[in-house]
Amino acid sequence: MAAKFIKEENLFAFKCTNCGIYFALDKEADDNWRDSGRAFFCPNGHSLSYKKEDKVNSLEKEIKSLKEKNESLDKTVKELKLEIERLKSELEIWHPVSES
């Protein structure tokens, strides 16, 4: 039997937890199995699946990261609003609006 190394493909290597055989999936197949949470099989027929917790944990991390980013952006907006008010005050001092 001959083996072929395919360097152009991005393959994800797996090791079956039952029999220890290594096999690979391309990104599209990996995404499908990961998103669906359905079972897939190693070349020796052992049923494997991504745990739903993996997906939940991944989404929880993403939510936490987005919340932190949102808080940071809120802080920036507040700082910019204060800066605008400061600049408006400064402008008023140097160029007062004439009362008419």
Binding site for Zn ion (CB under 5 A): 16, 18-19, 42, 44, 46
Q: Min. distance of Cβ 39 from Zn ion in angstroms?
A: 12
The widest CA-to-CA distance across the chain, in whole angstroms, is: 95
CB-wise, 24 or 87, nearer to Zn ion?
A: 24
CB-wise, 34 or 46, nearer to Zn ion?
A: 46
Q: Min. distance of Cβ 40 from Zn ion in angstroms?
A: 11
Sign of the dihedral through C-alpha 95, 96, 97, 100: negative
C-alpha dihedral over 67, 71, 72, 77, to 10 degrees?
140
